[in-house]
Amino acid sequence: MNEGDGSMLFRESETIELKEVVVDEIKKEIIAFANCDGGKLYIGVQDDGTVVGVDDPDGVSLQISNMVRDAIKPDVTMFVHYKTIEENGKEIVAVDIQRGTDRPYYLAKKGMRPEGVYVRQGYSSVPATDTAIRRMIKETDGDRFEAMRSLNQELTFEAAKKEFDLRNVEFGPQQMRTLKLVDQDNLYSNLGLLLSDQCVHTIKVAVFQGTDQTVFKDRREFSGSLLRQMNEVYDFIDFRNQTRATIEKLLRIDVRDYPEIAVREALLNLLVHRDYSFSASAFISIYADRIEFVSIGGLMPGIDLEDIMVGISVCRNQDLANVFYRLHLIEAYGTGMGKIMKAYEGMVEKPVIETTKNAFKIILPNINAKYEKGAESVLPAEPSAHTPVGTPLSAGEEKVLEYARTHGAVTRNEVMGLLEVSISTAARVLKKLVKSNLLKQNGKGRGTNYIPL
């Protein structure tokens, strides 16, 4: 490697850094080279290119390799190579750093922040800007927000642990890795950030007096782990979801303003399909006659509204949806819209879905709002085969339910005799009671009976 005049060989540049001895600063130089286009670090050479050499080149290489292993994250060792070369009768250590594949690299103690991430600028290594850090994350982790590494690595998971415990789902280091909250370098992903207590995304809920935004009644912003937001927002809406009693065939029927299942699914949809690369909050507005759920981020490319309505779902946040699935919060991908529509089956007013390029809005009408205006009942006159939970029971259905509770079970033949109806009507009544979670089918074929829940 003797190439004539040594002082010509060693000159600092964008890809060459000279150090007389091993100093702490070397870590920053290595990070900067690994984050940019690679470079060479020569130990035993002064800034002006004068070769002074090192006494123990092997010891120097080992010292640097230990520094690199302990102080730099993610692991950059495979991109750093050491070689002892002789120059002007003196030994120096050449450290060759390649551009790494897991950029940004940073000082473990400082984190993925400008004071921890360095880049090469001219002949020196300088802190990277937030924008540059985000760009590197994007280049490495791809465009999926939830899969990228979180800029904040100081995360806690109190709310998530509580929710996992409640649902009897394990939540340890292994599960966090499987669910993709943590990557192979033991770094938290943005999915980890969303479920952590430090989540920066919020839901704003506003309650209005009438049917427009003229008079405010209440306003809240919910923060923290998405799982905490989910529970608190649901409780906030549920508290305002009033029950109206009506009398039908001498039976008192209680009907809530909004079917609970529709509220739940609309809220889960807002959480799972939101585009978290935008920092704007999601919005829920509660009016006298409707609730509007506005989620940031329009439909995914290649999907339109008709697809959504028939249950086709291209999930923006697949890993988040998977966590919700594991927690039994969602049944399967893409079933939410169908459930919302089903909850309003037989009603005059139907849920409305509106989309723009950057937003997705679900409007749930208030079932009882019609009563306030003295209009006709918005409840189905005849219970259909798929009448949802929350719909009043007919006298016949009450009779079947009462019989099942008294006798411990009821069969289809017993329903036919009890109500003096055909086999298909008996089947329809039982189906409704099962759908309403009042009865449960037990057994198959001839031995089928229905037991009360």
What CATH number does domain 6-139 carry, 1.10.3720.10, 3.40.1410.10, 3.30.950.30, 1.20.120.1200? Answer: 3.30.950.30
Q: How confident is residue 325, by pLDDT bands cut at 50, 70 and 90?
A: confident
Q: How far apart are CA 113 and CA 333, in angstroms?
A: 36
| CATH fold for the domain made of 142-384 | Heat Shock Protein 90 (3.30.565)
Q: Specify the residue for token string 């006659």.
A: 289
Residue ranges of the chain that CATH labels 3.30.565.60: 142-384
Q: Write out pLDDT tens, residues 96-142.
A: 998 887 889 999 999 989 999 999 999 999 999 999 998 888 887 77
Q: CATH class for domain 395-452?
A: mainly alpha
User: What one-character-per-residue DSSP string does 351-409 give?
Assistant: -EEEE-SSEEEEEEEPTTHHHHTT----S-SS--TT--TTSPPPHHHHHHHHHHHHHS-
Q: Write out pLDDT tens, residues 377-429.
A: 333 333 333 334 445 777 788 889 888 888 888 999 899 888 888 888 888 89
Residue type, 307: D
Residue ranges of the chain that CATH labels 3.30.950.30: 6-139
- Beta-sheet strands, E only, within 56-172: 72-73, 80-87, 90-97, 106-107, 118-121, 124-127
Helices (H), 10-119: 26-35, 57-71
Q: Which range, of 47-56, 264-273, 438-447, averages the lowest pLDDT?
A: 438-447
Helix/strand/coil for 127: strand
